[in-house]
Amino acid sequence: MKVVVNDNLVLVGTAHVSKASVEEVEQAIAEHEPDVVAVELDDKRYEVLTNKKKWEETPVTDMIRGGKAFFFLAQVFLASIQRRLGKEFGAEPGSEMLAAIKAAETRKIQVELVDRDITITMRKAWRTMGIREKFRLFWEFSKAMVGYSDEEEIDLEEIMNEDAITMMIEELSKIAPSVTRILVFERDAFIAKKLSELSEEKKVVAVVGAGHLNGIQENLANIEDTPSFEELNAVPKKRIRWGKVIAYAIPILFFALLFWLVYNGLTTQDPEYWDNLSRVMLTWFLINGVFSAVGAALARGHPYSILTAFVAAPFTSLNPAVAAGWFAGAVEAKVRTPTVKDFQDLSEIETTRQFLNNRVIRVLMVAALANIGSVIGTFVAGAEIFRIMYA
């Protein structure tokens, strides 16, 4: 779908998995002979699209250490959906973007990336979502990752229709309104500002998803009212939640109890206090460690991962900034290192055995179950310590 905004700007709205879109992109560039070809990509997604082999072979541990977790999750989520659509409609995800880039390079035309950094987008989305939104989005994410699809067939021509796109955005708004605002509306504004600047002195053909066409045009028509880049890139600060309050209260209460036991032991010289102190410490370490280790074991973690969960849990339970599962998962990822290709294989899973044997699933399950075990262990240990003190 092509829209001529003015003499210097042409928008080409595409379906990301359509052969027809690839042909339309190539025709638009040949017909309008622009000075700039703008594509709906940021630096990170451009690298993934143009160097697919390197991306697929990147160890997950490298992505985490590099601080790219948000980008990592976003890329996997989008790829899992687009890949299945691509199989149905005969085009690889991002084919139209690659076609635009190759056509520009062939004609020696400048290529501009006009989308917002996906890391910023995902951080903003996560921090503005409520608990209910996160749960519902996680459910949709889980279904996409394991290849679940609804019975209703997807009509690509209908998807390209403007009214259908509007309806899809409205449906997404019901699931997670804040995500829709950040993933769609804010990016519309960001792309529109980029295109407005580029097209002031140069002729531009912009290749964007069909779902962004209306939003971009509306922002271009009211460009003076569009938020600044600084506003669009601003990530909200983390909000304090009751879960955090409880997480910080546990170590405070634990150390207050230890201080009280030590103080009374030194004051009264009563051996019973030192005996209680020893029992409190042993109870805390053993119960926390055992429960977390059992969680890692249930996930069929490597013995090193199970041992890590056992050792880490008593300490991480006293530090809200870290979790036992992080350490156990990191060890599991190190011993049985998954690559991003393992993530992409998730959409091909058809049996429970395939699911459980996937290295990415294994790492996630070790991390999740070790964390759950540690949480349960914290409350069980707390109850047992209370019993010891008031027996």
- In this predicted structure, what is the pLDDT of residue 34? 93
Q: pLDDT, tens digit, for every residue of 329-346?
A: 889 988 988 876 777 676
Provide the token pair at 286. Answer: 């053993």
The full DSSP string for 53-65 is HHHHTSBHHHHHH
Residue 29 half-sphere exposure toward CB, CA atoms < 13 A: 28
Q: pLDDT, tens digit, for every residue of 261-299?
A: 666 665 666 666 667 778 888 999 999 999 999 999 998
pLDDT tier at 19, thresholds 50, 70, 90: low
Dist CA 360 CA 218 (whole Å): 42
Q: pLDDT, tens digit, for every residue of 220-240?
A: 999 999 999 999 999 887 665
Section 205-222 average pLDDT = 89
pTM recorded for the entire structure: 0.64
- In this predicted structure, what is the pLDDT of residue 46? 85
- In this predicted structure, what is the pLDDT of residue 163? 39
Identify the helix (H) or strand (E) that includes residue 119: helix 118-128
pLDDT tier at 154, thresholds 50, 70, 90: very low
Mean pLDDT, the chain, integer: 77
Burial 329-367 (b: 16+ CB within 10 A, else e): bbbbbeebebbbebbbbbbebeeeeeeeebbbbbbbbbb
- In this predicted structure, what is the pLDDT of residue 159? 46
Alpha-carbon dihedral 218, 221, 223, 224, rounded to 10 degrees: -120
